[in-house]
Amino acid sequence: MTKYAVGIDIGGTRTKLGIVDLEAGQVINAKIFNTCQDSEQEFLSNLKAELNACLQETGMAKAEMLGVGISIGSYVFQDGTIDGMSCFVPYMTEGYPLIERLNKELGLTVRADNDARLIGLAETRFGAGKGYLRTLTITLGSGVGIGLCVKGQPFGDEAFCHLAGHIKVRSRDSEWSNDEAPCYCGISGCLEGTCSGIALGKYLQEIEPGMTNESFFRRAKAGESKMLAILEEYLHFLVEGLNQYIYLYCPDIIILGGGIARGLQPFKKEIEEGLQARVHFRHQPVLGFSKLMEESGVLGAASLFV
């Protein structure tokens, strides 16, 4: 019998909800709507309404769902509370009882985990990491998220390494950025503060006002010398981080996801050439790119019921 679950990916701006066929690893119906910033009750009511609409459109009953999985950009404790999303959603403060509130509102069993961990879980089960023992998924988006899976499961009971994007990769005297607004982690030159989408975009604006991440990668792919020089420096910092992760986590595959990963795909060979770290002589980590992209959060959330 086919198993179904609901996956909900809660973001600071948008929320994605979908019904997932867990055997096929497919989202069979999905909704994308704004995350209500002003009212907790409106946010909860919107989730319930969108879930009911999704079920009605697919002709499925709530009883056919194993439960609702939640992906959220926060640390999720085992008691179902989170450490806060107040910088994105003001009412989700430290200790917010996420699972308790959603259980009550949706009338289904609810499980939740950190979004970076669940993106890694989705890629491991249904995407680029399928068939690998140890997968490390690095989401290069507005920040840098880390998801480590071992034998098809997230590593550890909680998201202890999801903030591992804050390893140091750049010295203070580097010209890459003036660090006028240092990363909230307090580490000057961390990977997130250097290679995330926001960090790259900030640097590009200093070089040429109006340049976007997308136009930068497009111009670099076209062979523009100035853009290739910037790309070489960016890849230097990225590889600094990836080599550290190889020693820390011994992944069989490193999967790059998020918006920046799309721009990096034409330069896979250059990244691979920089991956020199090895845990032992038989260890040969490979580099991959996300196959799931926008659906990874919903698929990962629903996968909490596999």
pTM listed for this prediction = 0.94
Instruction: Note the helical H segments in 66-130.
Output: 98-106, 115-126
pLDDT 10s digits, 199-211: 999 999 999 999 9
Task: Give the per-residue pLDDT at 184.
Answer: 87
Domain ranges for the chain:
4-118+295-305, 130-290
* Superfamily covering domain 4-118+295-305: ATPase, nucleotide binding domain (3.30.420.40)
The torsion angles phi and psi of 283, rounded to 5 degrees, stand at: -85, 120
Cα distances (angstroms) measured from residue 54 to each of 9, 30, 68: 15, 7, 13
Task: Give the per-residue pLDDT at 2.
Answer: 86
Fold match, 4-118+295-305 / 130-290: yes
> 135, 155, 92, 171: which is closest to 254 by C-alpha?
135
Task: Give the per-residue pLDDT at 117.
Answer: 96
Task: Give the per-residue pLDDT at 182.
Answer: 77
CA distance 40 to 34: 13
Task: Give the per-residue pLDDT at 178.
Answer: 61
Q: Within the chain, which residues score under 70 in pLDDT?
A: 172-173, 177-179
Q: Give the chain's radius of gyration (CA, Å).
A: 20
Considering the segment(s) 130-290 as one domain, its CATH architecture is: 2-Layer Sandwich (3.30)
Give the pairing of strands 144-150 and 153-154. Answer: antiparallel
Task: Give the per-residue pLDDT at 1.
Answer: 75
Largest CA distance in the chain: 60
CA distance 301 to 250: 25
pLDDT 10s digits, 246-305: 999 999 999 999 999 999 999 999 999 999 999 999 999 999 999 998 899 999 999 999
